Structure 1
Amino acid sequence: MTDIIRKDSTYAWYVAVLLSVAHLISFVDRFVMSLVLVPIKTELLLSDTQLGLLHGTGFVILYTVAAIPLGWMADRANRRNIIVAGILVWSLATAACGLATSFNSLFLARVAVGFGEAALVPAAMSLIAAYFTRAKLSRAVSTFTMGASLGKSVALIVGGLILAWLTARGGAMLPGLGHLSPWQGLFMAAALPGLVVALLLLTVKEPPRPVTGADTAKPGLRDVFTHIGRHRAAYLLHTAAAASAILLVQSYAAWSPTFYIRNFGMTPAEAGYLVGMVVLVAGPAGHLTGGFLTDRLQAKGVGGAPGLVIGTMLVLSIPLAVIFCTTDNKALSLASYALLNVTITAAAPPGLSGIQLLTPERLRGITSACFMAAITFTAIGLGPASIGIFTDQVFQDEKALGSSLLLATFIFGILGALFAWFSRAPARAATLAET
């Protein structure tokens, strides 16, 4: 549909919220695994390194390969339909995780989940940028990214309740599939909501493409790389800063339930519920804070506002991580974990909105895909796996999981803050060039 769409309208916010729900479902299917790392390790006899590979590296293999061609499609084809197709693929792949009986079969299913989810962000970012003006873009993006934190919460809270129910019954019997372990049944349940969201997304209208000036040309990778090359300092530094922040978000999301299981003697269901409740409040607060601060600083004419927000939040995260990773007081641990979630998730909206501000509309699909491919490969592919490697190889003690998380926070928090600070000047110059 190509009706004229009024930007910043009530309908535009409806689209942003619905895309946020799709983002939520994608993160449920992505992060439900963090709830069952311990039972998977026990049943399949895996190491922490293999768990990290399942959670992160398996997911990113096809995600990073498919993201760029799907971004190319988002600049040409119906973006809503691309998202709907992606949801169907990743939902079926999540169900396939529930049928896995070995590391190899589970790894392949995770690869397929990543392939389906690669369709979401490039098309969604292009849609949001088409529905909103620059003045409200960061808040719209923060609405979308808020779905990520809510998805983690739903995966942990609702997933924890379902896991406890399945565990009490010794698993599940499904017609034609036979008996499934509780963790396998959980994956099957997680696959169902995506089908409902795919139907709801059929109500979204495809906005018209720009029809005047340079934006009439059909963009390609050469156009994208030419544009990025002109502003390479801005893009490279901003991407490195955003990747550092998201790496910490993904690492803590992947391993926090296991941290509470090992350090405080909780069951997987108890740890999932507790961590999920914290993320339910702190995650959206962080996303909204990051989007609001970025828009406010932009409105005040602060140069490189996204980089300033990312860097500030990473610096604030370090002392909070020290408390979380070292205290043996559960109440203090939860309080510091909540504040840590606020600071690291607040870095997500300026990461995505910063790329939109640097990029002309006709190139946003492919550019967002390139950005997300780099972020996903670094943050998801390396983050959770690096924690497992630190635990197995550096500290050689599964009880040292907190030390592994803290080591990653020092490394990537400091590097990310430096990248963010130095990105400000070139980002401001590039943004002014595109306005």
Structure 2
Amino acid sequence: MRWKEHSHSVLFALLAIHVMAHIDRNMLLAFSPQITNDLAISNAQYGFLTGAVWVLSFGVMAVFMGSLADRFSRTRVIAAGILVWSVCTAASGEAQNFGQMVAARFLVASGEAALVPAAVSLLMELFKAARTGTAVGVFFMGIPLGIGLAFALAGTLGASLGWRHTFSLLGAAGVVIALPLLWLRDRRDGDAHGERGAPFAQQVRNVFAALRASPTVIQTIVGFVLVHMVFAGLSFTQLWLVRERGFDAASIARQIGLLQIVFGVLGSVVGGVLSDTLARRMKGGHAGFVALLIVVCGPLMVAYRLVEPGSALFYIGMCAGFFLPLATYGPSMAVIQGLTPPTMRSTVTGFTMLLINIFAIAIGNLAVGAISDRLIADGSTTALTNVLLATDFLAIAGAAFFALAARGPRIAFAPRDVIAH
């Protein structure tokens, strides 16, 4: 158990695993032209593969894997998840048709669902309340870093190896990383009497009972999900910029990629560090900080849709849209986890991931596409502008729920790291 004495090393190891997870996840996007050509996949099939297949697997399995992480060794749950997603990443490289790729990617998502619930629970144990926002924020740097590295690897390593061998290499690397984790013991030192979660069905009932008893956690989760409507807008950002703002596809893609990495990483770090620093002084704590962050970034995001393309305000608003969602991870998770019993933390995280995937990713993307298609059919020349503005306003509406959460109980920093009621 001496490995738990090195909390910062554990944090950066989990960050590295999170980066690897998002590289494996986004390799399908990075190699999309080659894969769709080689497997004769239509645009509709590709959309199903990258959307519904992932959401159905990852969203549902996040709750189940979270319950396992609350009941058993979190390190072994993470290791098992890495093994599953790595083997299936390698299998993706062997797929010969659409059906085989669907099966492989479905299981990649199932394996990756193990990481976030178990990792966030572990970080809550290893870091004191005054630093949980920072720790979780650093962990979620894995999202922008993984996305950026996936495209970078596809453009460099993939150019010489091809997509199939690149997938195989990534799968082998994951297996090598997973095996040592199987031997790490995970005694829950922070839990009274070493208590653990209940079997799955009872654990789910316990979680719903705990949520009903904690309006603050419910309000934070709702606000957190709404902020993720920004991601629904991001999926259509390049199409909007090319079709309705006149940008060149290749040049704007490079700009989006670079700015998303830079400001996504900044959002993760700055959001986590500032929330921990200001939460001590703000009446609303971490939730109040997120509400303030949305109020500052929201108008810039709206202006970005309306001002002259290429202007300073245009790029400031674009960067605010990349910064905001990642900046909310640390403080939001600090509230949700800090007000959740330790025996349910992984399951609640999994439930939160399920809601994000269903409402913001699946339904959000489907709604943006369907509504914009209808507006275009009716003759609108600004269909995507109008719909993306709606996603921005939904994200801004999340501030109201964080403001409500800020009025409830919050994590106390002194004299001990306990929950204040």
| Alignment partner of 1:216 out of 195, 198, 216 | 195
User: What does residue 365 of structure 2 align with?
Assistant: 384
Change (3 A) 1:264 1:146: same
- Paired residue type of 1:241: G
1:13 aligned to 2:8? Answer: yes
Checking the alignment, whether the CA contact within 8 Å between 1:234 and 1:426 is kept in structure 2 is yes
The 5 Å alignment of 1:166-245 reads 172=162, 187-188=167-168, 191-199=171-179, 201=181, 206-210=186-190, 212=192, 216=195, 218-219=197-198, 220-231=203-214, 233-245=215-227
**Partner in structure 2 of residue 176 of structure 1:** none
Matched, 1:278 2:255: no
1:335 to partner: Cα distance: 5.2
- Report the counterpart of residue 230 of structure 2 in structure 1: 248
Contact 1:314–1:413, Cα closer than 8 Å, also in 2: no
Does the 8 A contact of 1:51 with 1:388 survive in 2?
Answer: no
- 3-state SS of the aligned residue for 1:54? helix
Give the SS at the match of 1:426.
coil
> Structure 1 length as normaliser, TM-score?
0.79
**Structure 2 counterpart of 1:31, which letter?**
N
**Aligned pair partner of 2:329 in 348, 359, 363:** 348
CA contact (8 A) 1:290 1:346 kept: yes
CA offset digits 1:363-401 (Å, max 9, x no partner): 212222222222232233233333333443443599968
- The Cα of 1:85 is off from its aligned counterpart by 1.3
2:43 is the alignment partner of 1:46? yes
Distance 1:242 1:409 in 2: 14
| SS in structure 2 of the partner of residue 44 of structure 1 | coil
1:120 paired residue among 115, 138, 147: 115
TM-score in terms of structure 2 length = 0.82
1:285 Cα offset (Å): 0.6
Q: Is the 8 A contact 1:57 1:382 kept in 2?
A: no
Matched, 1:418 2:400: yes
Q: Give the distance between the partners of 2:108 and 2:295, measured in 1 at CA.
A: 29
| Contact kept? 2:90, 2:168, Cα under 8 Å | yes
- 2:60 is aligned to 65
What amino acid is the match of 2:17? A
Please say if residues 136 and 329 of structure 2, whose CA atoms lie closer than 8 Å, have aligned partners that are also in contact. no
Q: How many residues matched?
A: 408
Distance 1:329 1:309, change over 3 A: same
272-281 vs 365-374, which moves further: 272-281
Moved more, 341-350 or 281-290: 341-350
Deviation at 1:94, TM superposition (A): 3.0
Q: What amino acid does structure 1 have at the position aligned with 2:174? A: G
Which residue identity is paired with 1:45? Answer: S
| Aligned partners of 2:240 and 2:385 also within 8 Å | no
- In structure 2, the CA distance between the partners of 1:200 and 1:83, relative to structure 1 (3 Å rule), is same
Q: Which residue in 2 is equivalent to 1:179?
A: none
Structure 1, unaligned runs of 5 or more:
173-181
Q: CA deviation at 1:109?
A: 3.3
- Aligned mates of 2:259, 2:123 — CA distance in 1: 28
Aligned to 1:371: 352
> Which consecutive residues of structure 2, in runs of 5 or more, have no partner in the other structure?
none
Hey, what's the Cα distance between the residues in 2 that align with 1:26 and 1:258?
Answer: 26
**Match of 1:93?**
88
Are the aligned partners of 1:157 and 1:274 in contact in 2 as well (CA < 8 Å)? no
Q: Return the offset for 1:351.
A: 2.2
